[in-house]
Amino acid sequence: MPVYTCTAAQGTLTSGSKAALAAEITRIHVAINHVPPAYVNVVFSEPPPDSVFAGGEPGAPLIINGWVRRGHPQQEATRLALELSSAAARIAGVAEDHVMVVLQDGPARSAVEGGRVLPEPGQEKEWLARQGET
């Protein structure tokens, strides 16, 4: 259901740190938004260092963009962003002031996974129970 894209200049993240970060993003999202781990998608984008800027200058930010379904309580969305930022800094070994987390939400009905329109937050159990239906 959610899609997280982690962007960092090539060489910033090792294979191990990417795997650890993907696992931690999944764990945090599952704990806060109560979806099965298999539905959390994490993708890494690593442009060349001369293609990454912060404040108009060459930089080394770690940027996490996430798409989540609209309707989760704002307090949980804020907690999600804060926990992701802290985990990313710890795992990547960068200062937290070099981490940016942006969560964008959209209506569940605007996304399809496995050929089915996503459920509204809170309706996951019913949606999962109908998994075999077409």
Q: Note the pLDDT tens digit of each residue in 44-65.
A: 999 999 999 988 999 889 999 9
First-last CA distance in the chain:
18
CATH number given to 3-129: 3.30.429.10
Closest CA relative to residue 52, chosen from 12, 16, 3: 12
- Measured CA distances, 60 to 11, 64, 105 (Å): 10, 13, 26
pLDDT at residue 133 in the model = 59
Q: What's the pLDDT band for 103 if we cut at 50, 70, 90? A: very high
pTM: 0.89
Q: What's the pLDDT band for 122 if we cut at 50, 70, 90? A: confident
- Measured CA distances, 59 to 10, 14, 51, 72, 105 (Å): 12, 18, 9, 33, 27
